[in-house]
């Protein structure tokens, strides 16, 4: 649901509440809270229930038509990680002809692997290994996120309000994070465990809370390490400055946390060693050192010299699209425009017209309502992201739970507003609840009664070639002016054993080596922008002149 649609729904619900009989909104809100009271009596039952709700809500949005298909670069990169982990490997050996298989957000040397941290890929691999579909791992991630947010909210809110907030969070996030391969849900889960665990440790320093907080930090380190580090620093500072009664119990807190953190750090170092050859070098860093024409953050020195590229489409992405945007953002006007864009993206996804009023209330009363800690986490993450070259909504996922907490705290205050004895606050709060539910119900209705999700052009070609049987190799040559965001050359973890191999055409000598290596396959050429394949004779590649 976009911002305009949400605003229209909000206005429509408010108008309906104004025209309805007196106290109708108040009665509806009381009904919702009463239902939440009955369901929220057992903490474990609520957490498990929200896991099931987040899982089923994400799955129901795929109940008709094709499952979500990979579209953007990030999707294919994460699916490569999924395929690798599901095959029982941490990474893949580089292919002898790896130059033909270079693609965005993937490293080819010293190993062949996704550049992204392994957390999201591991969840996708779980779905692929157990159910044959990586998207099931996305649904499981969304269930874990909903459960963790429900548990975190119970640290600040009455149980029934915490349950209502968790439902609102699931309804807002499932249509996005529950349908894409780029992650978001696992980072939200990690942030909720970390923030919720630290909140409970300041009240009751139990080893179980320390273990959950440490587990959340491990998840953040393997999904959103930059933003996760910021959250961890804020959490550590808050714990260190907490009431004196906590300090004598630090040993009981630190020891269980280390039981989680030390093995995780050792595994992360081992993973980096296997993928990049250096336990302190992440695959993301290696990828950007190899391909990026811009630094990740504005405080880093500019890239000099610009890397050499073997494929025009990768050069177009970094040099013709990414680098001009980066240079504009370094200027005064560009910095301001970038900040405005980032604020808009963040507020549109996490706040929107529905949650704007209660969150504005929390800006006024936050200090008196115990919101200093989650507020500091949100501010710190947003300030850190002002230095990032780009911002996407899942970058802020580690503090998604805090944004829901602000909204629900504001709703609790808003519902008590009765100017001249009229339940205006209850009407607005009721509208917020209804619109939040519509975030899930509207896409669900469109899914159930609509024609279903259509397959992408790439998926259609894959299905066409799979129906023919045998093994295929598709040669890709991009026409001039082709969008650098429409990459076709992505492959399975085991390229040689894949039924369909996608390869970029290069010089005649390289093409001859490719034709010789894959001699047992049927050859096709991808025609763009028609998005179709035509059969070609392999001998034409073998007879090509040697430059």
SS3 per-residue string spanning 178-211: CCCCCCCHHHHHHHHHHHHHHHHHHHCCCHHHHH
Cβ contact 61:176 at 8 Å: no
Range 14-43 average pLDDT: 66
pLDDT at 327: 86
Residue at token pair 């799955």: 59
pLDDT > 70 fraction of the chain, expressed in percent and rounded: 89
Distance CA 130, CA 477 (A): 36
Highest mean pLDDT, choosing among 9-18, 109-118, 365-374: 109-118
Distance CA 264, CA 502 (A): 36
Range 359-374 average pLDDT: 74
pLDDT at 191: 96
61/418: higher pLDDT: 61
The answer to whether residue 20 scores a pLDDT higher than 80 is no
Range 83-98 average pLDDT: 96
Distance CA 440, CA 447 (A): 11
Q: How confident is residue 26, by pLDDT bands cut at 50, 70 and 90?
A: low
Range 520-545 average pLDDT: 86
Of 20-29, 216-225, 262-271, minimum mean pLDDT range? 20-29
Range 253-273 average pLDDT: 94
Distance CA 483, CA 359 (A): 39
Q: How confident is residue 357, by pLDDT bands cut at 50, 70 and 90?
A: confident
Instruction: Provide the 8-state DSSP code for 530.
Output: T
pTM, two decimal places: 0.92
How distant, in Å, are the alpha carbons of 195, 371, 373 from that of 378? 11, 11, 9
User: In this structure, how many other beta carbons lie within 10 angstroms of the beta carbon of residue 224?
Assistant: 28
Distance CA 448, CA 504 (A): 39
User: In this structure, how many other beta carbons lie within 10 angstroms of the beta carbon of residue 520?
Assistant: 8
Q: How confident is residue 547, by pLDDT bands cut at 50, 70 and 90?
A: very low
Q: Which two tokens stand for residue 518?
A: 């894959």
524 φ/ψ angles, rounded to the nearest 5 degrees: -135, 155
Distance CA 147, CA 401 (A): 11
pLDDT at 419: 76
Mean pLDDT score of the chain, rounded to an integer? Answer: 87
Cβ contact 168:205 at 8 Å: no
151-173 tens-digit pLDDT: 999 999 888 889 999 999 999 99
Residue ranges of the domains in the chain? 3-69+115-280+334-447
The answer to whether residue 249 scores a pLDDT higher than 80 is no
Of 1-10, 123-132, 291-300, 478-487, minimum mean pLDDT range? 1-10
Distance CA 307, CA 299 (A): 20
């Amino acid at each position: 649901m976009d911002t305009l649609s949400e605003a229209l729904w909000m206005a429509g619900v408010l108008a309906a509440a104004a025209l309805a009989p007196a106290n109708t909104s108040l009665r509806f809100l009381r009904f919702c809270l009463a239902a939440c009271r009955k369901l929220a009596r057992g903490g474990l039952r609520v957490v498990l229930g929200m896991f099931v709700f987040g899982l089923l809500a994400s799955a129901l949005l795929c109940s008709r038509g094709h499952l979500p298909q990979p579209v953007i670069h990030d999707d294919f990169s994460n699916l490569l990680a999924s395929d690798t982990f599901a095959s029982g490997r941490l990474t893949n050996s580089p292919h002898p002809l790896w130059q033909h298989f270079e693609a965005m957000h993937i490293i080819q040397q010293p190993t062949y692997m996704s550049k992204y941290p392994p957390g999201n890929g591991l969840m996708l691999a779980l779905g692929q290994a157990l159910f044959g579909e990586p998207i099931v791992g996305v649904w499981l991630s969304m269930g874990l996120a909903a459960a963790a947010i429900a548990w975190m909210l119970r640290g600040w809110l009455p149980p029934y309000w915490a349950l209502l907030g968790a439902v609102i969070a699931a309804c807002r996030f499932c249509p996005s994070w529950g349908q894409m391969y780029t992650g978001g849900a696992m980072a939200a889960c990690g942030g909720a465990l970390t923030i919720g665990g630290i909140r409970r440790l300041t009240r009751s320093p139990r080893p179980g809370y320390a273990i959950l907080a440490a587990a959340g930090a491990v998840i953040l380190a393997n999904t959103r390490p930059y933003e996760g580090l910021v959250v961890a620093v804020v959490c550590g500072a808050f714990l260190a400055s907490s009431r004196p009664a906590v300090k004598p119990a630090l040993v009981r807190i630190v020891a269980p946390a280390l039981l989680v953190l030390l093995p995780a750090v050792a595994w992360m170092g081992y993973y980096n060693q296997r993928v990049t050859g250096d336990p302190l070098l992440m695959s993301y860093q290696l990828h950007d050192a190899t391909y990026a024409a811009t630094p990740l953050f504005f405080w880093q020195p500019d890239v000099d010299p610009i890397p050499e590229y073997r494929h025009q489409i990768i050069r177009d992405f970094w040099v013709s699209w990414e680098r001009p945007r980066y240079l504009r953002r370094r200027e005064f006007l560009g910095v301001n425009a970038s900040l405005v864009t980032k604020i808009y993206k963040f507020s549109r996804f996490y706040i929107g017209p529905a949650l704007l009023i209660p969150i504005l209330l929390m800006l006024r009363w936050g200090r008196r309502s115990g919101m200093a800690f989650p507020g500091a986490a949100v501010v710190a993450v947003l300030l850190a992201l002002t230095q990032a070259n780009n911002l996407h909504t899942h970058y802020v996922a580690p503090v998604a739970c805090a944004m829901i907490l602000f909204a629900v705290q504001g709703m609790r205050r808003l519902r008590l507003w009765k100017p001249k004895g009229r339940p205006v606050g209850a009407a607005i709060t009721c509208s917020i609840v209804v619109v939040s539910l519509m975030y899930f119900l509207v896409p669900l209705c469109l899914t159930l009664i609509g024609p279903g999700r259509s397959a992408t052009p790439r998926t259609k070609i894959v299905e066409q070639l799979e129906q023919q049987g045998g093994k295929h190799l598709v040669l890709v040559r991009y026409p001039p002016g082709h969008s650098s965001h429409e990459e076709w050359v992505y492959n399975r973890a085991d390229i040689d054993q894949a039924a369909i191999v996608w390869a970029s055409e290069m010089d005649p000598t390289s093409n001859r080596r490719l034709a010789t290596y894959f001699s047992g396959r049927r050859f096709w050429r991808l025609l763009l922008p028609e998005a179709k394949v035509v059969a070609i004779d392999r001998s034409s590649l073998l007879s090509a002149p040697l430059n």
